[in-house]
Each structure stands twice: as C-alpha cells, then as structure tokens.
Chains A and B, each alone.
Chain A
Amino acid sequence: MDIVDKVTNEDYKYGFETQIETELFPKGISEDIVRMISKKKNEPEWMLEFRLEAFRYWKTQEMPHWAHLSIPEIDYQDIYYYAAPKSESSKNPDDVDPELLKTFDKLGIPLSEQKMLSGMAVDAVMDSVSVKTTQQEALAELGIIFCSIGEAIKNYPELVKKYLGTVVNYTDNFFAALNSAVFSDGTFVYIPKGVRCPMELSTYFRINAKGSGQFERTLIVVDDDSYVSYLEGCSAPMRDENQLHAAIVELVALENSEIKYSTVQNWYPGDKEGKGGIYNFVTKRALCKGTNSKVSWTQVETGSAITWKYPSCVLMGDNSVGEFYSVAVTNNFQQADTGTKMIHIGKNTRSRIVSKGISAGQSQNSYRGLVKVTANAENARNFSQCDSLLLGDRCGAHTFPYMEINNETAVVEHEATTSKISEDQVFYCNQRGIKTEDAIGLIVGGYAKEVINKLPMEFAVEAKNLLSVSLEGSVG
C-alpha cells in the first residue's frame, strides 16, 4: 500500500507541510472578521471601508456557474480567512524563522542573502502574510517600489488609493468581491517613469495552513516609458480537503510602458482519484491605459483541482498591445476553464492570443475567450489561436470563443486545432532509444514551445519539466 501511495503521490514534489505554529482567526466570514483582518494589518480607515463595501456587496451575490466546470458546494463559513506563521510578527529581514527559510529553500526559492538568485527579486508569501521580500534596497535606488501590498498600504497610501480596484472593481464578480473584502497579502510594484527594471520581480505564493483560503492581491503600476518583467509561482501541501485560492491581480501600464507577467501555476491538483486540490478562482486583468503601452500575459497552468481564470487586457490607450500566451495542462480529474478577454477601446490596438490546452486522464480542459471591439476602436487587430492536445480518450477539450465586434475596421482572426499524441509518434521516439515518458515530455514541449519561449529563461526549463511531470503516467 505504501508503494502505491508513493508512486501515485510522487508526481507532486511540493506537497510537504511546514511544521510551524500558525495564528488563525476563527473560521468563517463576517463583518467582524473583515474588521479583524484590517486591524491585524494596522490599516487606515479608508482601507477598512474599501473592504466593508466589498463585503456587503459580496453578501448579495451568488457563486457563478456559467463556466464549464462542476464545482462542489463551497461552505464559505468553513474557511479560515486569516492564517499567518506566528514568528512573522517582527518581519525583520534578518530575522525570518529558519523553518520558513527552509520551506522556501525546498521550493527552490532561496531567500537568504548568500543564496539569493542574482537578477531576481522575490516576495515570499505564506498563507496570509509576506514573510520576506528580497533585493528591496537595490531596487529602491532606482525608485522602484517592490513590497508586500500590506506595506504599500502603510507606506505609499496615495499610490495604492489611486490604483487599487480601478482595474478589477469589487463588483466585477463574486470572487473579486470576496477577495476585496478579505484579501491578506500579495505584492505591490511601482516602476517610476523612464525606468527599465533591471531584474525579474517575482512572488512565490505558498499555502500551508490547513483549512485556510488564500486571498492575495497584487497591484503592479508601470509609469511612462518603463518596463518590468514579473513572475508568479505557487504551490501547496497535498491534502484531502479542497482549499480555496481567490486572488486579484491588477496591472496598470501607462504611456509607452510594458509589463510582462508570467505565471507558473502549480497548486496541488488533487490525487489520482480527484480527491483534494486547490480551487483556483482568480481574476487577473491589465489596463493598458497609456498610448503605446503593452501587456503580455504568459501562463503555464499545471496545478489546481479546478481553475477559473481569464487574464485579460483592456486596451484603452491608442496603439496599445495585449498578448496572452497560455499552456494549460489537466490530468486525472482536474478541470480548467481558462482563457482571456481582449477589450479593444483605443485606436489601432492589437491583441494576440495563443492558447495551448493539454488534456489527459479524465480531465476537462476549456478555453474561453472574448475579443471585444468597441465602436470607437478604429483599426483593431486580433489574432487568436487555440490548440488542444488530447492524451487518451477519456478526457475533454472544449473551446468557447466569443466575439463582439462593433467597428467595421476591425480584423479578427481565429484558428483552432485539436490533435492527439499518436502511438506512432511515441513509438518513433522509443525506436530511437527515448523512453515513453521522455518522449511525451519532448512532444508536449514541442507543442507548447511557442508559449514556453515567452517565459524568462530560468523558468522555461522548470516549466518544461513541470509539463512532463504533470503528465506522468497519462499514456500507456
């Protein structure tokens, strides 16, 4: 029996749990809990008001069911909305609990000064709090702000007030309202005018506490003529229960600026029988506010039991560009409904969508995308390509493209393909001496190449490995 457990669980490398004392608020959500979170974080009055308004709205809403997902009933009163490693209170950079450092080391995210990766700054978030943010001083010299959202609310209230909730309003959807009420930590980035951020900024999200939900909030503002590349990673322990992760990410790109946002999503996907795993219900949206601004989303989605996620671009500035590159893998009983929205408002705006779905086992994988061209968006251009790759014959791949075109000058193209990894492709590799698992890795890597190549180099390799691991045992 042990051997069976070992083999079936081996695939998910990050499923360990850190033994650390955790401070928990009582389970459930109420105005009191919202006030407690705000108080715990020493927030100003306006922030508490922001939360309460969102909470009151959330109470009037019901969970959406339009996605091609079968989501079991979620008891929102049975979740811890605040969980924090106890030693965090001091948050002295040199005084992080060694147990936490060890955890992030194990995840391949070294936080100590000696081991820090050069060319990369990291904000490490466990459960509801940011435990450490690296490279802050070096970045501050350029006027770049890179800190937890909690610190930003305290230290840069004007900036946060100006942009928070402007891209994703709490009324946007059920999970956005929930997040706006109870969000705990997350990352804030501000790149001042005319600065090209010299290193990759990244946040690593880790869920550790049992029964908790993670509600992180990320806000990235890139001022005129600036550039940043940002990467997000995540993982969670293996548990039989389902844990909720409902995040909001807002990006604001001002004139001539560019944001590259990459995600390697590796939340625990549940076991082979579909037990446990993270519910990943996330709202990510970018506002290309300035003329000539550009936002590029790249995502490699391999984890989570259920994914509900549509990183989108509102192309408001003239000549602005939105891109969405996605590889979404589902195996066993995973479900994903993911895609993007490209909203063309400014003139000469362009968008490009490349979505590669890979379904295996008995999973369901859907692409859902909206291309909207408003009446004044002269000369809008969109190209969408949605490919699905099926492994085996018990999984499903679905494509739901929507188009709303209200301007005659728009040119919108959509291509879609569905293919299977054939026995002959695998045999061809075998005949050259390549093992089946490595063959699948090669074939899937080739299929996803266009997207993987958009990732920062260090992560492209990791993402490739992750793809093969996620599909282990799915053929044959």
Chain B
Amino acid sequence: MLLEIKDLHAIIKSNGKEILKGINLTVNSGEVHAIMGPNGSGKSTLSSVLAGHPAYEVTGGEVIFNGKNLLELSPEDRSHEGLFLSFQYPVEIPGVSMTNFMRAAVNEHRAYKGEEALSASEFLKLMKSRSEYVELDSKLAGRAVNEGFSGGEKKRNEIFQMAMLEPKLSILDETDSGLDIDALRIVAGGVNKLKNADNASIVITHYQRLLDYIVPDFVHILYKGKIVKTAGKELALELEEKGYDWIKKELGE
C-alpha cells in the first residue's frame, strides 16, 4: 500500500470552515486514481492538505504514506518521501532560473537519500533529457520559474519537474485546465511515460477528456468533502453524460 487515507478531516485555518469531512482512500503502487466532483467539493483542498499547505489544518483522521505518518512530515519531507503535486496554478518566482530552482530541488532530494549532489554537467544532462518528456524548449533552463510562461507551458513545466524528481505518488490537480488539445496530449504523454509498477497517480479533473489519455483504474466522486462513489473508468463517462445531479439524487438530496 502506497497511500492510505483514513477519515481525514480538514479546515481552512483563517475561517475555521471544514472542507474535508472524512475522506477515505487507498492507493497502491501501479494504480491511477481519478477524483472528480463539482466545484467546491474539496478536490483541490485534498491535494493541498496531502502536500502540507499551511493554509489548512487537519482536524482528524490519518494518512499513511509509504509506511510513514504523512501528517507529521514537513512539506519538504513529504516531497523527499516521494509525494509530488502538480499545481493547478503554478506560482511565478521572478529572477530564479529553472536551472537553479530544479538544481536546489534535485540536490535536496539526493541529500535526503544520502546521495551526493550532482555536478553541474550531470545535472544539465538530466535536465535536457527530462525536458524531452514534455517537449519543453531547452531555452526553458534559463527562464525564471513560470515567469511569462503560457498556461500550457506552466503545466508542461509541472510535468517536467515531476520527471526530474521521479515521485512515488503524483497528484495532478486539474492539470488539464486551460490546455488546448495538443498541449493536453503532450502533458498526458509525459505522465504516461513516467508511469511504472512502482509509482501511482491521483488525477483530479472536471472532465472525462483527460481520462481518455491518462486511463484511470478507479474513479472516485468527491462531494461535499467526502468520497461518495467509487467505480471503474466507466464512471467518468457516466458523469460526462449525466452531470452530477444524479449523484445528488442518489444521495437523497
């Protein structure tokens, strides 16, 4: 078992509002899980909470990741342990080149594992080979992190970083939003190339479209802070067809 979430509750610190109201989810290596749900159901909050965003506070439940109590780890150690979040809105860091940023990240990961830092030439070689996964221009290396990137470039940049860090669990938070069909194909292609029997992904999305490219083993519906339905990939098609109203009906609302 790679990830086990048990009865997870979380609130927004600033206003005390409860967003996650008892999430249960188990993810094994080699699996792809899709999480779908209407706006405001808590999908992005779930990814932020798992990554340790300071705006949220966990008020109950537990999360075991890779045999460790995830909630006790700092955000950077969650990353070191192999948790990766592809942000819905990647932030810009003006003046910091992608090269310096990724070099700091990769070397911190290596230090955590007790490995030596990569030399400049080894690192640049790695960067070049991984940028090919998502057909990113080599000029990227000299540009500041996400600064002046188009929407599509930002998302490709997220998957590029994922390729650099080789996580055990990737959470893709609406990676498809704002992408045209070509960009979507490239991004999904990158994710698929990185997929193997030892890692897993959680794909958060509104649309079935992305799941044509990244095929899930399980589809979960998150509604009002809880997972209310789990099925195979056909559930996504059903949702696409019927919308969320039938779920609400099923729940007796």
A residues apposed to B, CB below 8 Å: 422-425, 427-436, 438, 442-443, 445-450
B96, A445: Cβ atoms closer than 8 Å: yes
B100, A442: Cβ atoms closer than 8 Å: yes
A443, B76: Cβ atoms closer than 8 Å: no
Give Cα A103 to B109, complex, Å: 37
Q: Which of B22-30, B79-87, B225-233 contacts A (4 or more CB under 8 A)?
A: B79-87
Least Cβ–Cβ distance between A96 and chain B, in angstroms: 38
Give Cα A434 to B95, complex, Å: 17
A449, B95: Cβ atoms closer than 8 Å: yes
Give Cα A435 to B109, complex, Å: 11
Q: Which of B49-57, B59-67, B216-224, B242-250 contacts A (4 or more CB under 8 A)?
A: B49-57
Least Cβ–Cβ distance between B111 and chain A, in angstroms: 9
Contacts known (A431-B51, A433-B76, A433-B109); A447 close to B91, Cβ less than 8 A: no
B54, A434: Cβ atoms closer than 8 Å: no
Least Cβ–Cβ distance between B127 and chain A, in angstroms: 14
Contacts known (A442-B101, A442-B104, A446-B144); A431 close to B79, Cβ less than 8 A: yes
B76, A435: Cβ atoms closer than 8 Å: yes
Query: What are the residues of chain A within 8 A of B151 when measuring CB–CB?
Result: none
- For A422, the closest partner residue in chain B by CB is B91
B100, A430: Cβ atoms closer than 8 Å: no
Partner of B93, one of A423, A431, A442, A448: A442
Give Cα A434 to B78, complex, Å: 11
Partner of B79, one of A422, A423, A425, A433: A433
Least Cβ–Cβ distance between A270 and chain B, in angstroms: 29
Query: What are the residues of chain B within 8 A of A435 when measuring CB–CB?
Result: 76, 108
- For B110, the closest partner residue in chain A by CB is A433
Least Cβ–Cβ distance between B184 and chain A, in angstroms: 23
Give Cα A422 to B54, complex, Å: 12
Least Cβ–Cβ distance between A251 and chain B, in angstroms: 29
- B105 on interface, CB distance cutoff 8 Å: yes
Give Cα A434 to B161, complex, Å: 13
A-B contact pairs, 14 of them (CB 8 A): A425-B91, A428-B91, A429-B104, A430-B52, A430-B74, A431-B51, A431-B84, A432-B101, A434-B104, A435-B76, A436-B76, A438-B108, A443-B93, A449-B95
Give Cα A237 to B52, complex, Å: 41
A447, B94: Cβ atoms closer than 8 Å: yes
Query: What are the residues of chain B within 8 A of A425 when measuring CB–CB?
Result: 91, 93
B93, A427: Cβ atoms closer than 8 Å: no
Give Cα A438 to B53, complex, Å: 17
- For B78, the closest partner residue in chain A by CB is A431
Give Cα A431 to B158, complex, Å: 12
What 7 pairs across the A-B complex have the smallest Cβ distances? A446-B95, A446-B96, A430-B75, A433-B79, A432-B105, A449-B95, A433-B108
- Known: A431-B84, A442-B93; 20 extra A-B contacts, CB below 8 A, are A423-B54, A425-B93, A427-B53, A427-B75, A428-B90, A428-B93, A429-B93, A429-B104, A430-B75, A430-B76, A431-B79, A432-B79, A433-B76, A433-B79, A434-B104, A434-B108, A438-B108, A442-B96, A446-B95, A446-B96
Query: What are the residues of chain B within 8 A of A436 when measuring CB–CB?
Result: 76
- For A443, the closest partner residue in chain B by CB is B93
- B214 on interface, CB distance cutoff 8 Å: no
Query: What are the residues of chain A within 8 A of B91 when measuring CB–CB?
Result: 422, 424-425, 428
- For A435, the closest partner residue in chain B by CB is B76
Least Cβ–Cβ distance between A461 and chain B, in angstroms: 12
Contacts known (A433-B80, A442-B93, A442-B101); A428 close to B87, Cβ less than 8 A: yes
Give Cα A433 to B115, complex, Å: 15
- For B144, the closest partner residue in chain A by CB is A446
Contacts known (A425-B91, A442-B93, A449-B95); A431 close to B75, Cβ less than 8 A: yes
Least Cβ–Cβ distance between B7 and chain A, in angstroms: 25
Least Cβ–Cβ distance between B87 and chain A, in angstroms: 7
- For A447, the closest partner residue in chain B by CB is B95
Query: What are the residues of chain B within 8 A of A433 when measuring CB–CB?
Result: 76, 79-80, 105, 108-109, 112, 165
Give Cα A432 to B74, complex, Å: 12
Query: What are the residues of chain B within 8 A of A422 when measuring CB–CB?
Result: 91
Query: What are the residues of chain A within 8 A of B108 when measuring CB–CB?
Result: 433-435, 438
Report B88-128 residues with CB < 8 Å from chain A CB: 90-91, 93-96, 100-102, 104-105, 108-109, 112
Query: What are the residues of chain A within 8 A of B55 when measuring CB–CB?
Result: 423
Give Cα A432 to B102, complex, Å: 8
Least Cβ–Cβ distance between A446 and chain B, in angstroms: 3
Give Cα A433 to B77, complex, Å: 7
A430, B79: Cβ atoms closer than 8 Å: yes
Least Cβ–Cβ distance between A444 and chain B, in angstroms: 9
Least Cβ–Cβ distance between A470 and chain B, in angstroms: 18
A446, B112: Cβ atoms closer than 8 Å: no
Least Cβ–Cβ distance between B178 and chain A, in angstroms: 18
Partner of A434, one of B52, B87, B105: B105
A432, B165: Cβ atoms closer than 8 Å: yes
Q: Which of B80, B87, B104, B112 has the most CB of A within 10 A?
A: B104
A445, B95: Cβ atoms closer than 8 Å: yes
Query: What are the residues of chain B within 8 A of A432 when measuring CB–CB?
Result: 79, 101-102, 105, 161, 165
Give Cα A438 to B93, complex, Å: 14
- For B111, the closest partner residue in chain A by CB is A433
Give Cα A447 to B95, complex, Å: 6
Query: What are the residues of chain B within 8 A of A438 when measuring CB–CB?
Result: 104, 108
> B144-170: contact bitstring with A at CB < 8 Å (1 yes, 0 no)?
100000000000000001000100000
- For B90, the closest partner residue in chain A by CB is A428
Query: What are the residues of chain B within 8 A of A423 when measuring CB–CB?
Result: 54-55
Least Cβ–Cβ distance between A326 and chain B, in angstroms: 16
Give Cα A422 to B109, complex, Å: 23
Give Cα A43 to B177, complex, Å: 76
Give Cα A430 to B91, complex, Å: 12
Give Cα A434 to B102, complex, Å: 9
Query: What are the residues of chain B within 8 A of A446 when measuring CB–CB?
Result: 93-96, 144
Give Cα A427 to B108, complex, Å: 15
Give Cα A385 to B192, complex, Å: 46
- For A426, the closest partner residue in chain B by CB is B54
Query: What are the residues of chain A within 8 A of B79 when measuring CB–CB?
Result: 430-433
- For B87, the closest partner residue in chain A by CB is A428
- For B164, the closest partner residue in chain A by CB is A432
Query: What are the residues of chain A within 8 A of B93 when measuring CB–CB?
Result: 425, 428-429, 442-443, 446
Least Cβ–Cβ distance between A427 and chain B, in angstroms: 6
